[in-house]
Structure 1
Amino acid sequence: MAMVLRCDIGAAVHLFHAYGYPGLAPEGRRPFLEQLVELVDYHKDVLPAENAMILRSVLRAGRSLKTLDFIEGYPSNLLIEEFSTFYLARIAVFKHSSHVFDMEDNIRDLLLKSPLTSNGQPVTNFRFADSMHEPGIQLSDVVVGVLGKMHSYFTHTERDEVAEDRTALNEVSLENTVLLRDLISRSHEANIGFLNHVANAHDLDKLNLFLRFLDGIYA
């Protein structure tokens, strides 16, 4: 579905906003799905024929459901209310690590409001700090910024253009690309939990094309 929606981002945003996604009203269920089917029909050439047919059938079948559990009954047009879950996930997954978070007053207050425990013991392996005094946070901001721009580039760039850009890299850019690739690979080898991203198969294919992982597969 992502490939279809990307064909006209503006129209997709307007459609989702018009129906209050991800908080559809029950009466909006059927017309919302019907318009998604229309989008699939209009942009079906971007998908393999069988995939387009299956996607269309799934969307049409959804019209007869009594509820769309994951996109009904929630506040309209509110994707994320707050981000404490992302902080909690890092603390829980890496419970034996020490976490230093950039100061976010609202996140800190939420976490301190209900003290965290593990097996009945207080969780104290995290703290919030001013990034001005934490080189580690400053460095992580740079790395996250690079990775974010990289994924945005693959999202908005056609595969043929990615291939052309890769071929056109100069010596310094090519070296930086190899360094980034190796950093990602080593991170994955050290702990698979270090990599946390959401991307579809088409974008991962473009990422592999550009970074050229040695095993041909993005970690």
Structure 2
Amino acid sequence: MFYISPLKLFKNSIHIFDEEKEIEKLISNLKFIDDEKELLHYVFKKSEEDKMIQLSDVIAGLLGKYFDYIKGGSFIEIEKDIKKLKEHEIEYENLILLHKILKKSEDKCIGFLHNTCCIEEQKKISYIFEMLEEDLY
């Protein structure tokens, strides 16, 4: 379950989730224990009342579109699109910045990049990194 993974993986963090009554109900029936101590390390908040949740929603939406693109595109289409994107400096720079963030996150902690991509999609992501490599650094 999407909500449970970070709670188990990052037990020393405070997790703030967008309010979802169904999920809250499910999670409230679970106990997270570390060294016989119950962890109470998550809260649900209304996104309208929390700017950080709103920002997180925007980032999640952007990444969702990125992964939809990867899922739907062939290697040839992706390569063609990136070559075409190089003609548009701002858009290309934004793609570079996105990949720098992903790389920095991966280097910091592989758990930050939790996703449900299949092997083919992971290969496409690696392929994009290879195409951008000279401009990433």
Which TM-score band applies after superposition, normalised by the shorter structure?
A: 0.7 to 0.9
- Give the deviation of 1:199 after TM superposition: 2.6
Q: Does the aligned pair in 1 maintain the 2:8–2:32 contact within 8 Å?
A: no
Equivalenced residues, count: 131
Cα distance in 1 for partners of 2:61, 2:95 equals: 15
Query: 2:109 — aligned with what?
Result: 191
Unaligned runs of 5+ in 1: 1-84
Q: Percent identity?
A: 29
Query: 2:95 — aligned with what?
Result: 177
Q: CA 1:213–1:167 in structure 2 vs 1: closer, same or farther (change >3 Å)?
A: closer
TM-score (norm 2): 0.84
Cα distance in 2 for partners of 1:134, 1:123 equals: 23
Cα distance in 2 for partners of 1:135, 1:184 equals: 22
SS at 2:114's partner residue?
coil
Is 1:148 the counterpart of 2:61 in the alignment? no
Moved over 4 A (4+): none
TM-score (norm 1): 0.55
RMSD: 1.9
Larger Rg computed on CA atoms: 1
Q: Which has the larger share of helix?
A: 2
- Give the deviation of 1:115 after TM superposition: 4.1
Unaligned runs of 5+ in 2: none
The higher relative CO (CA closer than 8 Å, separation ≥ 6) is in 2
Cα distance in 2 for partners of 1:172, 1:162 equals: 18
* 1:8-23 mapped onto 2 (5 Å cutoff): none
